């Protein structure tokens, strides 16, 4: 069975995520009003280039006719492209397939991104971003695993991670390595951005993230601070997820008792102690595999099933150094999905995009097959365990690199609604 058999919409999204979208003038024109892509479009050698520069801005996300959100990856070889205009509407086309152009819309750039705070600071640098209808709060982005001492010559950062690297964002936000707190100014600017989003009614969920700290106790205190600041704005009107590292029990208790968050998502990233140790050496050293799962189980005991998640990087284990075939990698991931579901923890698989130089077509084909089979088999597990992704945590309007919410939009028999505890 392939993905198209259970959800043609998810099947097409998978194709778009892997094949990307070729540049067109329509795509370039949409960048003027669409939510900006962090990665510019880079023209391939020999590719038709109406811009005359090696790279150009493109939109970040579009929605298809059935409201499926798709992240845009620029790719000069792709048969997918966008036609149309803002006045006449945009269409998703495919040169090679006999499919009618489909109307799409780009996720727009909100007004607040061009505003400033009361003290004249650009709101777009206040540590708040949007992925569809998900507001992501990240006011301490620098991850201490990047600066931790090496052990046995090995760096502590997660092997797939580039976004946690300490950089100028830390300066904008006043984040100091090893310090729990952030400047008052950082909290107040973040709250101004969040208030603008909440008043525009564009966020259906909020996700708290940030770089890890070497001391779990400090990280717990930081997330409690941030969640309190966030709740002073949203006051329970929008569901909030704590996307920290696996916290200590005492801090999980505070987050629950004070109703600071409605969901937990401690990202295990990969299944199996062996892969965790190899791929997430910092998490393994400073928390540990068993302690990570125990923290997730603790969260299930408080918030209940349907409110505890763990993001997984679907496909990193296909890199050659982990010595797995595609089949054994799928089997292992499925085994992990079932084990976590049995514990009341819902894994969410984000597509792994290899860095440039590691994206050989044969590798990408294996990765695509892996991700498709994992999603097909994981859907059966969710049904077997009656697991439902709560739309206060995530939905098809924000799952830009994940397929579970798209797949689960197909009605199934086991559809008991979840109730927030």
CB of 366 to ligand SF4, least distance (A): 23
The yes or no reply on residue 161 touching ligand SF4 (CB under 6 A) is yes
Query: Binding ligand SF4 by CB under 6 A: which of 35, 112, 145, 309?
Result: 145
The yes or no reply on residue 164 touching ligand SF4 (CB under 6 A) is yes
User: DSSP class of residue 359?
Assistant: -
Stretch that binds ligand SF4, among 92-100, 153-161, 175-183, 329-337 (CB under 6 A): 153-161
Closest-CB residue for ligand SF4?
164
The yes or no reply on residue 186 touching ligand SF4 (CB under 6 A) is no
Other beta carbons within 10 angstroms of residue 239's beta carbon come to 21
Query: Binding ligand SF4 by CB under 6 A: which of 82, 128, 143, 330?
Result: 143
Contact 174, 185 (CB under 8 A): yes
What is the size of the binding site for ligand SF4 (CB under 6 A)?
Answer: 9
CB of 249 to ligand SF4, least distance (A): 20
Q: CB within 8 A of 11, min separation 6: which ones?
A: 2, 3, 4
The yes or no reply on residue 3 touching ligand SF4 (CB under 6 A) is no
The yes or no reply on residue 212 touching ligand SF4 (CB under 6 A) is yes
User: DSSP class of residue 23?
Assistant: -
Choose among 48, 49, 31: nearest CA to 40.
31
CB of 358 to ligand SF4, least distance (A): 17
Shorter beta-carbon distance to ligand SF4: residue 191 or 251: 251
Both tokens of 138, joined, read: 């990240």
Residues 214-273 that bind ligand SF4 (CB under 6 A): none
Provide DSSP, 148-205.
Answer: SPPBTTB--S-TT--TTS--HHHHHHT--TT-----HHHHHHHHHHHHHHHHTT--SE
Choose among 273, 153, 263, 166: nearest CA to 212.
166
CB of 146 to ligand SF4, least distance (A): 6
Residues 277-296 that bind ligand SF4 (CB under 6 A): 283
Other beta carbons within 10 angstroms of residue 288's beta carbon come to 15
Interacting residues with ligand SF4 (CB under 6 A): 143, 145, 157-158, 161, 164, 211-212, 283
């Amino acid at each position: 069975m392939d993905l198209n058999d259970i959800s043609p919409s998810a099947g097409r999204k998978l194709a778009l995520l892997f094949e990307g979208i070729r540049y067109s003038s329509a795509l370039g024109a949409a960048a003027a009003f669409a939510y900006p892509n962090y990665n510019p479009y880079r023209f391939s050698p020999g590719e038709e280039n109406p811009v005359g520069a090696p790279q150009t801005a493109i939109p970040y996300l579009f929605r298809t006719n059935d409201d499926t959100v798709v992240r845009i990856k620029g790719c000069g070889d792709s048969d997918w492209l966008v036609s149309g205009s803002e006045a006449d509407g945009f269409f998703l086309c495919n040169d090679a397939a006999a499919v009618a152009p489909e109307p799409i819309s780009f996720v727009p750039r909100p007004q607040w991104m061009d505003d400033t705070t009361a003290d004249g600071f650009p709101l777009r640098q206040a540590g708040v971003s949007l992925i569809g209808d998900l507001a992501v709060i990240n006011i301490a982005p620098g991850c201490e695993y990047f600066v931790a001492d090496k052990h046995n010559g090995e760096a502590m950062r997660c092997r797939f991670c580039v976004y946690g690297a300490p950089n100028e964002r830390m300066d904008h936000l006043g984040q100091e390595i090893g310090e729990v707190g952030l400047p008052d100014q950082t909290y107040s600017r973040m709250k101004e951005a969040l208030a603008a989003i909440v008043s525009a009614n564009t966020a259906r969920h909020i996700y708290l993230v940030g770089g890890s700290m070497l001391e779990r106790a400090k990280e717990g205190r930081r997330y409690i601070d941030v969640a309190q600041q966030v709740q002073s704005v949203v006051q329970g009107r929008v569901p909030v997820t704590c996307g920290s590292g696996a916290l200590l029990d005492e801090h999980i208790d505070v987050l629950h008792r004070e109703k600071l968050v409605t969901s937990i998502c401690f990202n295990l990233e990969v299944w199996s102690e062996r892969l965790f140790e190899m791929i997430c050496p910092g998490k393994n050293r400073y928390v540990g595999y068993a302690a990570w799962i125990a923290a997730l189980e603790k969260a299930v005991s408080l918030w209940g099933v349907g409110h505890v998640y763990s993001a997984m990087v679907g496909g990193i284990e296909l890199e050659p150094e982990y010595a797995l075939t595609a089949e054994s990698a799928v089997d292992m991931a499925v085994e992990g999905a079932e084990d976590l579901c049995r514990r009341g923890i819902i894994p969410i698989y984000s597509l792994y995009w290899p860095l440039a130089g590691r994206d050989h077509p044969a590798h990408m084909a294996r990765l695509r097959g892996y991700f498709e089979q994992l999603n097909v088999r994981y859907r059966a597990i969710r049904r077997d365990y009656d697991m439902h992704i709560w739309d206060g945590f995530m939905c098809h309007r924000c799952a830009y690199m994940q397929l579970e919410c798209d797949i689960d939009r197909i009605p199934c028999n086991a559809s008991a609604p979840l109730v927030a505890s």
